Amino acid sequence: MSAAAQMEAELTRTLQACGVIPVVVLEDVSVAVDLAHALQRGGLATIELTLRTPDAEQAIRNLAAVPDLLVGAGTVTTVDQVDLAVAAGARFLVTPGWSDQVVERSRQHGMPIYPGIATATELQHALESGLRAVKVFPASALGGPATLRAYASTYPDMRFIPTGGISEAELVDYLAVPSVLAVGGSWLTPADALASHDWAAITAAASRAAAVAGARDLKDAR
């Protein structure tokens, strides 16, 4: 196994063990580390920091320096953003939709990537491109766990990170799908809690999610 493949396999194991990926839109970079600590106190040690705000690159740099935190870059839509996220210290990349150029560039960096797919055609393309795990976006609008089960039965070797419109209450249903590697969502870090520095609320949400993910039976997981 190549070093890149080994890194990807290890990352996949980490994401599966975590089960939940907080998707963060951070307006105020100065709270990045406080936010990370709030999530860690709740038992979640992964963050997908989206490249949707002006200081997202600096936020990734700050988060990359936090011990025992796995930080990825989300909403990666261009090759320049791949370069930027890698330079900032992201350990994985997530995209909302498929882009051959973005996938290729991340491979040139040896950087694991979870591109977003929404259709069986895109899933097929991902498979043919050598990927074994993708983000499914927007999971809720696409039909939720039922759609994932349908994809899983036709593409048993593919694993999914559903994201988009998922609520805390639905987490358990998504995690019950054996092909789901982890569930992504912004419900853990709502804008109002970030703006008011309500770390206790974020820790509480993280700890409830970590408990649900921790109770998942991984024996059937693919």
Whether the CB-CB separation of 56 and 77 falls below 8 Å is answered with no
Query: With binding defined as CB under 6 A, does residue 95 bind ligand 3PG?
Result: no
CA-nearest of 74, 64, 56 to 33 is 64
CB of 99 to ligand 3PG, least distance (A): 15
Backbone angles phi, psi at 217, to 5 degrees: -90, 110
Query: For residues 181-200, which are near ligand 3PG according to CB under 6 A?
Result: 184-187
Which of the residues 8, 48, 57, 170 is marked catalytic? 48
Tell me, by CB under 6 A, how many residues bind ligand 3PG. Answer: 14
Q: How far apart are CA 18 and CA 44, in angstroms?
A: 7
Q: How far apart are CA 88 and CA 62, in angstroms?
A: 9
Which of the residues 8, 57, 135, 170 is marked catalytic? 135
**Residue holding tokens 């936020």?**
59
Query: For residues 74-93, which are near ligand 3PG according to CB under 6 A?
Result: 74-75
Q: How far apart are CA 94 and CA 216, in angstroms?
A: 24
Annotated catalytic residue 135: yes
Query: For residues 103-122, which are near ligand 3PG according to CB under 6 A?
Result: none
Annotated catalytic residue 27: no
Q: How far apart are CA 81 and CA 87, in angstroms?
A: 10
- Closest CB to ligand 3PG among residues 117, 166: 166
Whether the CB-CB separation of 71 and 47 falls below 8 Å is answered with yes
Query: With binding defined as CB under 6 A, does residue 46 bind ligand 3PG?
Result: no
Query: With binding defined as CB under 6 A, does residue 165 bind ligand 3PG?
Result: yes
Task: List, by residue number, the catalytic residues.
Answer: 48, 135
Interaction site with ligand 3PG (CB under 6 A): 23, 50, 74-75, 96, 137, 163-166, 184-187
